C-alpha cells in the first residue's frame, strides 16, 4: 500500500516508510492512497470470527505485502491478547471498554502494533539501525507507548512528561520499566514537552546521528489498528439488529477517525458522535463552520486537552473536505468539568457503572445525540480505566474502585527519571 501526504508536497511512500518517518517531510500526515471495502460475506459472518481474524482482515490491505501474512497474523494476535468487552448500561446504550490492556488505556493496541511493526522492519538489518521514538505525554500516551515498546530490539523510547502534572499511577507506568525506555521529567507543562518534541523533529542536527520518529496517532501504525474496536463492537451488538451510533471521547481525533476508516471498509455505522471537554474546536467547527485551533486548556479529562487536533485533517479527507458531508456523519458536543463529574455520579448512582472522566464525556455526548433519535443503539467508548485518574475522580466513587493487578504490580517499583528543563538539555541527552 502506498501513502500520500495530506499536504501534497512530498512523495508517496510505502507502509514501512510511513511508519518509520511518522510525519511526511512536508509536515503532512500520511493517508492511504486506496481504501477497498471488505466483502459483504465478512460482515455476514463476523460473529464466527475471532478478534485476531477480524483485525487481520481489516488491516491487511494497509500493510500490503510488506509484512508477510503469517507474520502479520502473529503480530495482530499478540497485540490483541486481552478483552474488549461490550456491556449494556441502558436500554439503548452500551459501553465498549478499551482499557483491559497492560496499561489500561485504549492506546495500548496502537502502541503495541506500531512497536511490533518497527521491530519487524528492524529484525533483518545486519547493522541494527536504531530508531528513537520520541513522545510527549500528558499522562496516558506515555505509559502505553513505554509498555508497547518495552524490549523491542533496535528501538529506543524517550518519553517527556510534565513534572508533578501526571497522576502517581501514570508516573509509575512511565518511569519504572527500564530497558530501552527512558523517562525525561520536564520542569514545565505538557505544552512545553510537546514543543520540545516538535523542535527536535525539525532540528537537522540529529541527521546521521539518530533517526527520530513519533508514536503519536499521527503515525499510521498507531492510528489504523484503532479500527479494530469498532468491528468488535459491531460483532457484539449485531444480533440487536439496530443501527449503531458510536460516541468517542476525542482529543487528537485518531480514535474516532479510525472508526470512520472502519466505516469506509463497509462497517455499518449509522452515525458518529464526538464528545470533548472545554477544548471544543471540532464541535465548534461543526456548529459554526469556523475551525479555530487554539492553545489547550487544562481539564479533568486531560488526555483530551488538545487545542489543535492532529488527525482532523484525516477526517476531512475521508469526507471529501466537505463540511456538509461531515455534518451528516458526525455530531459534536462539549462539556465542562462540572458536567463531567455529574455524569460520573449519574452513571454510578443509576446503573452502578464506574466510568473515567473521558468515558463520561462520551456518555454525555451520546445521551445528547440520542434525544432526537429513536430506533438506534448507541455505544460509548471507555478509553481508560478510572484508576488512572484517581486524583480527579469524585472521592465517593474513587473509594470503590478495585485495584487492578497490572496497576498493583507497579506501585512499589522504584521511579527512575532524568530531570530536564529546556530544549538544550533534551538535545544533549539525545546526542550523548
Ligand atoms: C488519548 C485519549 C483520548 C483521546 O483519543 P484521540 O484519539 O486523541 O482522540 C481519550 N481518552 C483517553 C483516556 C486517552 O488516553
Probe ligand 1: pick from 145, 194, 304, 360, max atoms within 8 Å of CB?
Answer: 304
Report the residue among 137, 220, 252 best suited for mutation to probe ligand 1: largest number of ligand atoms under 8 A from its CB: 252
Please name the residue whose Cα sits nearest to atom 14 of ligand 1. Answer: 303
Choose from 136-140, 264-268, 302-306 the range with maximum mean pLDDT. 264-268
Find the range with the poorest average confidence among 126-135, 165-174, 278-287, 332-341. Answer: 126-135
Nearest atom of ligand 1 to the alpha carbon of 358:
11
Q: Is the pLDDT of residue 216 over 90?
A: no
Interval between CA 65 and ligand 1 midpoint (Å) = 30
**DSSP-assigned beta bridge partners for residue 273:** 247, 331
Three-state SS at 78 = helix
DSSP 362-383: HHHHHHHHHTT--SEEEEEEE-
252 CB near ligand 1 (under 6 Å): yes
Query: Would the pLDDT of 186 be above 70?
Result: yes
Kindly give the distance from the C-alpha atom of residue 304 to the centroid of ligand 1, in angstroms, as a whole number. 6
Q: Is the CB of 247 under 6 A from ligand 1?
A: no
Name the pLDDT band for 128 (thresholds 50, 70, 90). low
Mean pLDDT value of segment 308-329? 97
193 within 8 A of 186, measured Cβ to Cβ: yes
Judged against a pLDDT cut of 90, whether residue 242 lies above it is answered with: yes
Cβ of 250 less than 6 Å from ligand 1: yes
Find the 252 Cα to ligand 1 centroid distance in Å.
7
Residue 383 near ligand 1, beta carbon < 6 Å? yes
The pLDDT score that the predictor gives to residue 304 is 93
pTM: 0.95
Dist. CA 29–CA 4, nearest whole Å = 8
Q: Between vectors from CA 190 to CA 272 and to CA 30, what angle results, nearest 5°?
A: 50
181 forms beta bridges with: 157
Report phi then psi at 275, rounded to 5: -115, 135
Amino acid at each position: 500500500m502506498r501513502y500520500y501526504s495530506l499536504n501534497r508536497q512530498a512523495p508517496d511512500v510505502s507502509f514501512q516508510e510511513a511508519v518509520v518517518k511518522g510525519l511526511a517531510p512536508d509536515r503532512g500526515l500520511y493517508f492511504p492512497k486506496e481504501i477497498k471495502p471488505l466483502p459483504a460475506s465478512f460482515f455476514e459472518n463476523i460473529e464466527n470470527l475471532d478478534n485476531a481474524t477480524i483485525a487481520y482482515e481489516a488491516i491487511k490491505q494497509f500493510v500490503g505485502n510488506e509484512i508477510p501474512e503469517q507474520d502479520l497474523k502473529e503480530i495482530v494476535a499478540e497485540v490483541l491478547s486481552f478483552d474488549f468487552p461490550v456491556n449494556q448500561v441502558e436500554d439503548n446504550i452500551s459501553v465498549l471498554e478499551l482499557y483491559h490492556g497492560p496499561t489500561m488505556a485504549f492506546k495500548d493496541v496502537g502502541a503495541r502494533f506500531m512497536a511490533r511493526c518497527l521491530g519487524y522492519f528492524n529484525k533483518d538489518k545486519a547493522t541494527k539501525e536504531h530508531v528513537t521514538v520520541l513522545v510527549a505525554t500528558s499522562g496516558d500516551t506515555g505509559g502505553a507507548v513505554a509498555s508497547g515498546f518495552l524490549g523491542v530490539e533496535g528501538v529506543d523510547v524517550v518519553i517527556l512528561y510534565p513534572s508533578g502534572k501526571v497522576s502517581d499511577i501514570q508516573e509509575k507506568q512511565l518511569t519504572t520499566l527500564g530497558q530501552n525506555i527512558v523517562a525525561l521529567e520536564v520542569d514545565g507543562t505538557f505544552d512545553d514537552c510537546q514543543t520540545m518534541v516538535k523542535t527536535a523533529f525539525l532540528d537537522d542536527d540529529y541527521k546521521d546521528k539518530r533517526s527520530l520518529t513519533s508514536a503519536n496517532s499521527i503515525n499510521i501504525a498507531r492510528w489504523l489498528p484503532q479500527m479494530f474496536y469498532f468491528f468488535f463492537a459491531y460483532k457484539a451488538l449485531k444480533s440487536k439488529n439496530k443501527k449503531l451510533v458510536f460516541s468517542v471521547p476525542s482529543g487528537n481525533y485518531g480514535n474516532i477517525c479510525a472508526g470512520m476508516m472502519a466505516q469506509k471498509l463497509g462497517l455499518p455505522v449509522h452515525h458518529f458522535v464526538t464528545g470533548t471537554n472545554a477544548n471544543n474546536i471540532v464541535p465548534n467547527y461543526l456548529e459554526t463552520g469556523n475551525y479555530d485551533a487554539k492553545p489547550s486548556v487544562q481539564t479533568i479529562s486531560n488526555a483530551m486537552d488538545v487545542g489543535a487536533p492532529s488527525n482532523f485533517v484525516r477526517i476531512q479527507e475521508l469526507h471529501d473536505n466537505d463540511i456538509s458531508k461531515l455534518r451528516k456523519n458526525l455530531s459534536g458536543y462539549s462539556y465542562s468539568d462540572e458536567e463531567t463529574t455529574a455524569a460520573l455520579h449519574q452513571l454510578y448512582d443509576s446503573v452502578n457503572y464506574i466510568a473515567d472522566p473521558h468515558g463520561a464525556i462520551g456518555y454525555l455526548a451520546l445521551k445528547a445525540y440520542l434525544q432526537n433519535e429513536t430506533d438506534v443503539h448507541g455505544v460509548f467508548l471507555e478509553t481508560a480505566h478510572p484508576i488512572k485518574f484517581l486524583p480527579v475522580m469524585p472521592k465517593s466513587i474513587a473509594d470503590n474502585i478495585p485495584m487492578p493487578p497490572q496497576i498493583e504490580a507497579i506501585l512499589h517499583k522504584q521511579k527512575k527519571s532524568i530531570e530536564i528543563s529546556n530544549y538544550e538539555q533534551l538535545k544533549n541527552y539525545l546526542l550523548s
